[in-house]
Structure 1
Amino acid sequence: MIKNILTQIWNQRRTNSWLFAELVIVFVLLWFCVDVLYGLVFARLQSKGYDQEHVYKITVKSREDQFVKMQDADSVSHFWWKPLSEVIKSFKQYPGVESVCTSFGTDAYSNNIMFQGYHVDGDTSNVLISNIRYVDAEYMHTFRIPMLHSIHKNLKDEDWNAINDVTPAIVSAELADSLWGTTNVIGKRFSDYYSPDLHYRVIAVSVPQKNSDYNRYEPYIMTPYPERVYKMQAIPSIYIRVKADADNNDFSNRFIKTMSARIHIAPFYIFDIESMKYYKQLDDASQGVTQEVNNTMLMMSFFAFNVFLGLLGTFWFRTNSRRGEIAIRMAMGSSRKQTAVHFLAEGVLLLAIASLPAAIIDLNIWKADLTVTIHADATLFRLIITLIITFMLMAIITLIGIWIPSKRAMHILPAEALHEE
C-alpha cells in the first residue's frame, strides 16, 4: 500500500509541488513557533528555588504629615525602626498568618535588583557579580527555600548574627559553584570586592535561584541587614505566608480592612496587600512574556489554518478528479473505510517527505544560533523534541484537512462514478 501511494505521489509530482512547498515552508515557521514556546515552557517548569504559594506582599508606607527626617542613628532606631517592628509584629498576630519576613535588595517578580561583587579571600582576579538580598532569618521559612547543604536545620535569629566581624551568608548553588567549583562549601569564607573589610562565612547553600518564572538561574547571596540599613528611614519589602486553610480570594480585603483599623503606629499605615500571583502577572506583562506567548500562539494558529485550507482544497480537488479511480477501487473490493485510509495515508506520507527538507532547514537555523535562547539553551535535545512536536501538530492538521474530502469519497457510488467517466 505504501509503495503504491509513493508511486502515486511521484506520478502526481507536478500537482503535489505547490502543496509540498507549502508544507515545507509552514513546517519551518511552525517549528520556530514551537521552539519559542518550548523555551518558555521549559523555563516555567524549572523550580524558582522558592515557594510563593500562599505568600502575600504587604506594602507599608509612611504618612507625609508625620514624616520627620532624622539625622542621628539613635533617633532613626527609636522613631522609625522600633515602630516599624511593632507593625510587623502585629501582622504575625493576624489569624491565619503562618510567618512574616522582610527583605531589601533583589525582589522576586520585581525590577528592584541589587548587585554586588564577591571573591574568595586573596583572589581579586576572580570577582563574581551576584544578586544580593538582605533578609531576616524568617525569610527562608516564609519562602520555604530548600537547602542543598546547611549548618542549621532551622535557621533562628541568633544564627543570623555576625561573629568576629564575619557575616553569615546563604549562597545559591550558582554562586558557590562559580567561586569554588563545588556546592559543598559550608564554612568557606569570601569577601566583598567593593568593601574589602566585609567578610562572609557560608552557613548554607540553597538550591538554584531565579528572579521570576521565565528567567535563567543566577548567582544569589542572602545575608543579614548591614548596619547602614538601620541608619536610613527605609521600609523593607514585607511578606507574609498564610496557612493554606485560611487563604482564599477574600483574604486580602479582610486583612487590609482589619489591620488598617487596628494599626495606629506613627507614622506607618498599610497601603496595599497583593498575592505573589498578582506580582507574577505584572512581571510577565512587564517582561513581555504574556505578549510573546499571545503572538506566538496567534502565528501558530495562522500557520495551522493555512495548512488546513491548503490540504482541504487540494484533496477536495483530488477527490473530484479521481472519482473514477475511487470507483474502480471500490468495485474491486475496497471498502469505504479502506478508501478513506488510503487518502489519509497519502497525506501523511506527503507530509513525512516534506518534513525531511524542512528538518534540514531547521537544523541549519539551529546551528546558526538563530533560535530564541533567552529562556533556555538551544540544545540538541530541544531541537529533536520540537521537531517531533511540530511533526505531530502538522500530522493532526493534515488528517483533519483530508478527513472531510475523504469522507465525501467514501460515499461515492461506483456505478455512478464509472458512468460519469
Structure 2
Amino acid sequence: MKKLFTQLRNEWRGNFFLALELLVVFVVLWYIVDWCCVTARVYFAPMGFDTRHCYCLMVNRLTPNSALYTPGRTVGDDMDDLLEIAERLRHRPGVEAVAISQNCIPYGDGSNGIEAFVDTVPVYAMLRLTQPDYMRLFRIRGVAVQGADGRTVYTASSDSLAAVLGPGTMVLSRNAAADCDALGRPDATELLGRRLSLWKPDTDNSLRVAGVAEPMRWNHFTTADQWGGPFLATDFPREVMVEYENPAYLQLSVRVTPEADHGFAETLMAEADRLYRVGNVYVLDVLSFDQLQHIEELEDVNEVKTQLCILGFLLLNIFLGVVGTFWFRTQHRRQEVALRMAMGSTRRGIFLRLVAEGLLLLTLAAVPAALVALNLGVAELVDVGRLPFDAPRFVLALALSWLLMALMIVVGVCYPARRAMQVQPAEALHDE
C-alpha cells in the first residue's frame, strides 16, 4: 500500500483527472442506485393484504326495458336480493369467503375518507365500509384485538379481526394515528378499547376501537403512509346499504380455494343467469384481482419502465466509460508490466497490483463523492416522497455504487493486463 500511494503521488497529474472522473461518475451512479433501491424496497414491501385467488363480482340492477324486469321492487328489496346472492356464493363449492363492501376493495379506482377524533384531535383515514368477512377474505394482517370483555390479544389474525368487527366497533390500521404528534400516540394500538367520535368531536356518533391491523397499501408503488394505507374499517349493515340505492355502487368480493381457482370466472358467469340472478339484481361481470391490479398499476408500471430505460442507458455509458478508461490505462502501461516481470514480479502479483491501484483510486474518489451525495440527500434532491432519506438508505446506495464501480474497474483491468503479461519482457522492452 505504501508503494501504491507513492506511485499515485508521483503520477498525480494523470491520477488527478482520473480521480475527478471517478468522483463525477460515482455521484451519478449513486443517484441511479438510490432510486433503484427505493423503488425496489417500496415494490417488495408487504402490502397488508393478499388478493391471490380473489375475484370481484360486478353487480347491477335490471331496468324496466328488460323482459326479465320485476316491477314493484324497492331499494330494500334490491339489497335483500344482493345479500341473497352473497349467501348463495358462500355455499358454492370452493368458495372460502364472501364480503360486500363499498368503494374500498384493493386496487379499486375510488376511495372514501373519514375523520375520527381522539379527544379533539382529528385522525384522517380511508373509510373501509365492509362486512366482517372482508378481513378474512383479503387476509388482512392483524396487530391486536380487544373483545367486549376488555381482554386484549396481540399478534391477531384476520379471523380475529373479522370476529370483533361489528355494530358499534371499528378496526384501525396501525398508522392511522401517525399524524397525531400532540397525542404522543403514533401507534394506534394504544387506542384499543377507546371510543372515537366520527366526523365531529364530542358527538354520540362514536365507535369503539376493537382491533388494530397493518396498513393496506394502495398499490406496489406507494408506501403504507401514503393515501390508502391508514384506514378505518366499520361494519356495513343492510340499513346502510340501502342508503346507496343501487347495488351497482357496491362491490361483491369472493375468495376461492387454490384448487377451485381454475376457470372459476368462466364457470360462474355461465351459471350466473340461472343461479345468481335474484329479483332485479344480477351479476354483470367477474374480474380477478390480478386484472384489477394490472389496470390500477399500468400507468405506474409504464412510468417506471421509462425511467429504467433512461437510467439503464446512463448506466451503460458509465460502464463503457469506466471500463474503457481503465482498459486504455492498463494497455498503455504494457512496458511497465514487462519491466516488472523482468525484475522478478509474478503475473499474479502484477495483476493484483493493477487492480489494487484502481480500487485505491476509486476509494479516494469515493470520499468526496460521498460528501456530495450526502448533501444531495439532505437537500432532498432525491426521492423522499416514498421513503425518508436516512443513514441506512445512504450507506446501502453508497456500498452498492462502490461495488458496481469496483466491478467495472476489475473488468477494465483484467483483459488488457492478462494480454500484457503474455508478452515476453524482452519483446516489450525492445518495442519501447
TM over 0.5: yes
In the alignment, the residues of structure 2 paired with residue 41 and residue 93 of structure 1 have an alpha-carbon distance, to the nearest angstrom, of 41
Residue 333 (structure 1) aligned to one of 308, 333, 344 = 344
Are the structure 2 counterparts of residues 189 and 312 from structure 1 closer, same or farther at C-alpha, using a change threshold of 3 Å? Answer: closer
Cα displacement string for residues 39-94 of structure 1 (whole angstroms, at most 9, x for unaligned residues): 222223332222222222222233453498999xx81111x112222222333233
> Quick check: 1:205 aligned with 2:212?
yes
Identity of aligned residues (%): 29
Report if the CA contact (8 A) 1:304-1:397 is conserved: no
SS in 2 for 1:48: coil
Residues 9/70 of structure 1: CA separation in 2 closer, same or farther (3 Å cut): farther
Number of the residue aligned with 2:190: 184
Which structure 2 residues correspond to residues 88-127 of structure 1 after superposition, within 5 A? Answer: 88-120=86-118, 123=120, 126-127=121-122
**Partner letter of residue 26 of structure 1?**
V
Q: What is the identity, as a one-letter code, of the residue corresponding to 1:199? A: S
Q: Aligned partners of 2:24 and 2:87: how far apart in 1?
A: 62
Aligned to 1:230: 242
Residue among 136, 139, 145 paired with 1:141: 136
Secondary structure in structure 2 of the residue aligned to 1:378: coil
Q: For residues 51 and 5 of structure 1, what CA distance do their matches in structure 2 show?
A: 56
CA 1:5–1:256 in 2, change beyond 3 Å: closer, same or farther?
A: farther
Q: Per the alignment, in what secondary structure is the counterpart of residue 245 of structure 1? A: helix
Which of 127, 132, 135 lines up with 2:127 in the alignment? 132
Correspondences of 1:366-385 after superposition (within 5 Å): 366-385=377-396
Deviates more, 1:172-181 or 1:302-311: 172-181
Aligned residue for 1:370, secondary structure, equals coil
Provide the secondary structure at the position in 2 that maps to 1:294: helix
In 2, Cα distance between equivalents of 1:360 and 1:197: 56
Q: Is the 8 A contact 1:36 1:372 kept in 2?
A: yes
8 Å contact from structure 2 (residues 341, 425) kept in 1: yes
Matched, 1:9 2:35: no
Q: Does the 8 Å CA contact 1:188/1:202 hold for their aligned counterparts?
A: yes
**In the alignment, is the contact (CA less than 8 A) between 1:311 and 1:402 conserved in 2?**
no
Query: Is the CA contact 1:61–1:269 (under 8 Å) kept in the aligned structure 2?
Result: yes
Give the conservation status (yes or no) of the 8 Å contact 2:366–2:402: yes
1:395 and 2:406 aligned: yes
- In structure 1, how many angstroms separate the alpha carbons of the residues matched to 2:18 and 2:287? 53
- CA, structure 1 residues 403+268, in 2 after alignment: closer, same or farther (shift >3 Å)? farther
Partner of 2:150: none
Q: Tell me the CA shift for residue 402 of structure 1.
A: 2.3
Q: Which residue of 1 aligns with 2:151?
A: none
Gap change, CA 1:406 and 1:94, over 3 Å in 2: farther
Task: Return the offset for 1:391.
Answer: 1.1
- What amino acid is the match of 1:87? I
Distance in 2 between residues matched to 1:5 and 1:70, nearest whole Å: 93
Q: TM-score, normalised by structure 1?
A: 0.86
> What's the CA shift for 1:210?
2.6
* CA displacement, residues 140-166 of structure 1 (integer Å, 9 cap, x when unaligned): 11112232221358469996543xxxx
CA distance in 2: counterparts of 1:362 and 1:370, whole angstroms:
10
Rounded Cα–Cα distance in structure 2 between residues aligned with 1:158 and 1:297: 45
Q: Deviations over 1:295-315 (max 9, x none)?
A: 443344333322332233333
Matched with 1:34 is 33
Match of residue 410, structure 1, among 396, 421, 425: 421
Q: How much does 1:266 deviate?
A: 4.3
Once the 2 structures are TM-superposed, how far is the Cα of residue 360 of structure 1 from its aligned partner?
A: 0.8
Task: Give the CA deviation at 1:174.
Answer: 1.9
Residue aligning to 2:254: 240
Question: Which residue of structure 2 lines up, in the alignment, with residue 49 of structure 1?
Answer: 48
Inter-CA distance 352–262: structure 2 relative to 1 (3 Å threshold): same
Gaps of 5+ in 1: none
**What's the offset of the Cα at 1:100?**
1.1
Aligned residue type for 1:58? L
| Aligned-partner Cα distance in 2 for 1:53–1:239 | 12
Residues 169-196 of structure 1: CA distance to partner in whole angstroms, max 9, x if unpaired?
Answer: 1111122565662513332111112594
Tell me if structure 2 keeps the 8 A contact 1:37–1:293: no
Structure 2: gaps of 5 or more residues: 148-155
Separation of aligned partners in 2, 1:70 and 1:11 = 97
1:346 equivalent in structure 2: 357
* Residues 70 and 396 (structure 1), Cα distance of their counterparts in 2 relative to 1, 3 Å cut: farther
Number of equivalent positions:
407
CA contact (8 A) 2:33 2:400 kept: yes
Once the two structures are TM-superposed, the CA of residue 132 in structure 1 deviates from its matched residue by 0.4
Using a 3 Å threshold, how does the CA distance of structure 1 residues 334 and 362 change in structure 2: closer, same or farther?
same
Residues 176 and 205 (structure 1), Cα distance of their counterparts in 2 relative to 1, 3 Å cut: farther
Amino acid at match of 2:8: I
Quickly say closer, same or farther: Cα 1:346–1:159, change in 2 above 3 A.
Answer: closer
Residues of 2 paired with 1:176 and 1:308: CA distance? 46
User: What is the deviation of 1:230?
Assistant: 1.1
> Structure 1 residues 373, 285: CA separation in 2 closer, same or farther (over 3 Å shift)?
farther
Contact 2:142 2:212 in 1 (8 A): yes
Structure 1 residue 234 displacement after superposition: 3.3
Aligned equivalents of 1:49, 1:110: Cα separation in 2: 15
SS of the residue 1:184 aligns to: helix
TM-score (norm 2): 0.84
Deviates more, 1:57-66 or 1:105-114: 57-66
Match of 1:168 in 2: 169
Q: Measure, in 2, the Cα distance between the counterparts of 1:254 and 1:409.
A: 70
**More moved, 90-99 vs 112-121:** 90-99
Moved more, 234-243 or 222-231: 222-231
CA deviation after TM superposition for structure 1 residue 103, in Å: 1.1
Across the aligned residues of Structure 1 and Structure 2, the Cα RMSD in angstroms comes to 2.9
Higher mean C-alpha displacement, 261-270 vs 231-240: 261-270
CA contact (8 A) 2:338 2:421 kept: no
Cα distance in 2 between the residues matched to 1:313 and 1:9: 20
- Map of 1:263-302 to 2, 5 A cutoff? 263-286=276-299, 288=300, 290-302=301-313
